[in-house]
A and B are shown apart, each in its own frame.
Chain A
Amino acid sequence: MSTSRQHILGALRRSLQRDQPSAEERKQLEARLADPQAGLVPARGQRPHAEQLDLMEEMLRELAATVVRLDDADQVPQAVADYLKGENLPPQVRLAPRGDLRALPWSDQPLLEVTEGPAREPDTTAVTGAFAGIAETGTLMMASGPEAPITLNFLPENHIVVLRGSQVVGAYEEAWAELRQRFGQGAMPRAVNMITGPSRTGDIEQTIQLGAHGPRRLHVLLIDDAQSSGASPNSVNGGGVNGDGSDGPQA
């Protein structure tokens, strides 16, 4: 295959009518890669932080996701139990193995069976955190790692996401900046999943059906934590997304 590699690169350079980029060109290209610049960010993604929370909720609802806003993370187990009951789902959840989720008062819900780890086939409901919420389109960004198995996002039919207000940003670019802070320039976790609503398909006569292969239901518990009003809204370097350092996958 190394001959194919040379063959293809040679053909590309012939088509570009040059050999390698010149030293000056290379410098510019390296600079462009080393310092990624946000492109045109829609105004919708640049609203003040408080408005972004409302936008996040509004966009999620539009996507046929459901949202409950909570004042405190300690209300999560109760909200999970209520949701499962309301949807007539089995009282069992597969929890992402994260310290902050584990530390929630699950024992207050004795009827709820809570296990931890990556998803297995019979699991019906996953409860996970998120790396960020992107209000622009109601998108949840998941960064895989020991505390965030990828399978939890896709295998169970129901996905409950615990999202802190302080993790909500306006635009995708803010989340990328935060991700670089966390993982380092040019590095990525194995998988970054941007999830925008439950699984859907239009493959049969272009009528939208939910739950094609991934989750049929996406339920977001949006916690209005203190930072959501306190933190500087659009500063990506100021740690808006994961400011408390405990929400990210590698915290």
Chain B
Amino acid sequence: MQSSSPAFKDNARAALADQTLQKALKNVKSGFIGKRAKARERLPEFDDLRDAARDIKNHTLANLDFYLERYEEKVQASGGQVHWAATAEEARAEILKICRDVDAKVVTKGKSMISEEIALNQHLEGAGLEVVETDLGEYIIQLRKEVPSHIIAPAVHLTKDQIEADFRHHHDKLPAERPLSEPVQLVAEARQMLRQRYLDADVGITGANFLVAETGTSIIVTNEGNGDLTQTLPKVHIVIASLEKVVPNLEDATTILRVLARSATGQEFSAYTTFSTGPRRPEDPDGPEQYHVILLDNGRSQMLGSEFQDMLRCIRCGACMNHCPVYHSVGGHAYGWVYPGPMGAVLTPSLIGVDEAGHLPNASTFCGRCEAVCPMRIPLPRMMRHWREREFERHLSPKAVRFGLAAWAFFARRPQLYHRLMGVKMRLLAAFGRNQGRFNALPFAGGWTKHRDFPAPEGKTFQQLWAERQRGGPAS
């Protein structure tokens, strides 16, 4: 997918001015935060489970080669095939080849962020296949020719009025006067429209939340049931998964599953957690005849062993963005690539380069709410800071910023000079500002005073007053 991350500031400004988007974004706060808090409260072991989940992933990452090889063996033993893909291009080519081999015309898809990462739909459509997204949110944005704005709620940037308009426009065979203003009506209509598509499909593509080395199993977690219809009804099931999704055994997956839904939607458990192992067995009455797994690297092997390794623990629950005040302000599209919010601010520079995505790790106040809620205890602010360090080392940060910082640091490293200079400066500022107590415009501080006043300093600095007090002078 083409990134618009370099235009983050413009994207953000447009998002802030978009009243409909701002209305929709309110649902992120109301829809997720309270529910997660309640789920956490209800399970006394929740925070201990986060530790356990973190430890499982750390152990797996430290032995990733071993577990991937074992996973592959087990998939093969169950009659499935594993395709290793170093890049997005390799993954796309392999998927298209599998589709061509069965002469596929229609492909249904469950929600998969990896599919977005490798821009799969455009590739398959370019090759003449019809691609049908079946997750309701994905279906809606596919109609709108948009990309997801959230990793678990792809259409969270839309209001129901917008969705109604889209359905009326695209479902033009249905009676125009039908009632469609309520979510229940919209959901029923999407169900009706997609039903036949599941049955038409030759290939079903899903992502994977986990891969299990012990059994060669892929796991998807959904609420709608679309993923199960997608992977059960067609002849071929293709799983696309990045290679850090593997865990050792079913118990490990279980521990992490206990924190996944609670962190994501605040559910105790998602409606459908599905464990798929190979194609249908000879005695099975249903299920796909072929089972393929695309194991995608696309930059992750380089994150391993680096200061960004912890990011490979991410289970894509979305809790970080659900709690991020920057995400709440601008929504997911402003980030300009597949992964928004705090996890995107760390992952995106790893995958498309910090030159391209430099804004993302900078656009954070380091408020720490993301790390506080991350079920895998990923130190997101710390890793955003690491990106800023890489930028700084490579002189990628803006010149004005670098110059300002250097000037400030020069004085901050020389206390005597600093106190003398600041003493004079503050007294001047105070003299100017005393009448009003604040400034509504200040040179060199336009970013601040465009939106808010700047308080006038009281006068002498604390250091000056303290020195006077030590000498028995006039200070309090």
Q: Give the CA-CA distance A121 to B273 in the complex, in Å.
A: 23
Q: Are A194 and B249 in contact (CB under 8 A)?
A: no
Q: Do A4 and B226 contact each other (CB < 8 Å), given the known contacts A44-B43, A196-B271, A205-B183?
A: no
Q: How near does chain A come to B464, taking the closest CB pair, in angstroms?
A: 54
Q: Are B153 and A203 in contact (CB under 8 A)?
A: yes
Is the interface on chain B under 10, 10 to 19, 20 to 34, or 35 or more residues?
A: 35 or more
Q: Do A4 and B286 contact each other (CB < 8 Å), given the known contacts A139-B269, A187-B215, A212-B225?
A: no
Per-residue 0/1 for B57-96: is the Cβ within 8 Å of any A Cβ (1 yes, 0 no)? 0000011111111100010001000011110001000100
Q: Are B280 and A154 in contact (CB under 8 A)?
A: no
Q: Give the CA-CA distance A154 to B283 in the complex, in Å.
A: 20
Contact of B223 among A8, A139, A200 (CB under 8 A): A200
Q: Are A201 and B136 in contact (CB under 8 A)?
A: yes
Which residues between 83 and 141 of chain B lie within 8 Å of chain A, taking CB atoms? Answer: 83-86, 90, 94, 134-137, 140
B461 in contact (CB, < 8 A): no
With a cutoff of 8 Å between Cβ atoms, the chain A residues found around residue B163 in the complex are 204
Q: How near does chain B come to A112, taking the closest CB pair, in angstroms?
A: 22
A25 in contact (CB, < 8 A): yes
Q: Give the CA-CA distance A145 to B44 in the complex, in Å.
A: 37
B250 in contact (CB, < 8 A): yes
A9 in contact (CB, < 8 A): yes
Contact of B86 among A7, A97, A118, A213 (CB under 8 A): A7
Q: Do A190 and B276 contact each other (CB < 8 Å), given the known contacts A40-B52, A205-B24, A206-B27?
A: yes
Per-residue 0/1 for B196-219: is the Cβ within 8 Å of any A Cβ (1 yes, 0 no)? 000100000000000001111100
Q: Are B191 and A212 in contact (CB under 8 A)?
A: yes
Q: Are B215 and A212 in contact (CB under 8 A)?
A: no
B356 in contact (CB, < 8 A): no
Q: Do A211 and B191 contact each other (CB < 8 Å), given the known contacts A12-B301, A146-B283, A196-B269?
A: yes
With a cutoff of 8 Å between Cβ atoms, the chain B residues found around residue A172 in the complex are 254, 257
A173 in contact (CB, < 8 A): yes
A102 in contact (CB, < 8 A): no
Most B CB within 10 A of own CB, among A1, A43, A205: A205
B265 in contact (CB, < 8 A): yes
Contact of B229 among A7, A154, A211 (CB under 8 A): A154
Per-residue 0/1 for A208-226: is the Cβ within 8 Å of any B Cβ (1 yes, 0 no)? 0101111100000000000
Q: Are B184 and A16 in contact (CB under 8 A)?
A: no
B281 in contact (CB, < 8 A): yes
Q: Are B31 and A202 in contact (CB under 8 A)?
A: yes
Nearest B residue to A96 via CB reads: B285
Q: Are B251 and A211 in contact (CB under 8 A)?
A: no
With a cutoff of 8 Å between Cβ atoms, the chain B residues found around residue A191 in the complex are 232, 274-277, 287
Q: Are A204 and B64 in contact (CB under 8 A)?
A: no
Nearest B residue to A44 via CB reads: B43
Q: Which of B4-12, B154-162, B365-373, B426-434 contacts A (4 or more CB under 8 A)?
A: B154-162
Q: Are A212 and B136 in contact (CB under 8 A)?
A: yes
Given A1-B83, A149-B286, 14 additional A-B pairs, CB 8 A: A1-B84, A9-B65, A16-B62, A33-B213, A36-B251, A40-B49, A172-B257, A190-B278, A192-B275, A192-B277, A193-B274, A207-B183, A212-B187, A215-B225
Q: What is A's interface to B at a CB cutoff of 8 Å?
A: 1-2, 4-5, 7-9, 11-17, 20-21, 25-26, 29, 32-33, 36-40, 42-44, 59, 63, 97, 117-118, 121, 137-139, 144-146, 149-151, 153-155, 172-173, 176, 186-207, 209, 211-215
Nearest first, the 6 closest Cβ-Cβ pairs linking A and B are A214-B225, A206-B31, A212-B224, A15-B305, A11-B301, A203-B137
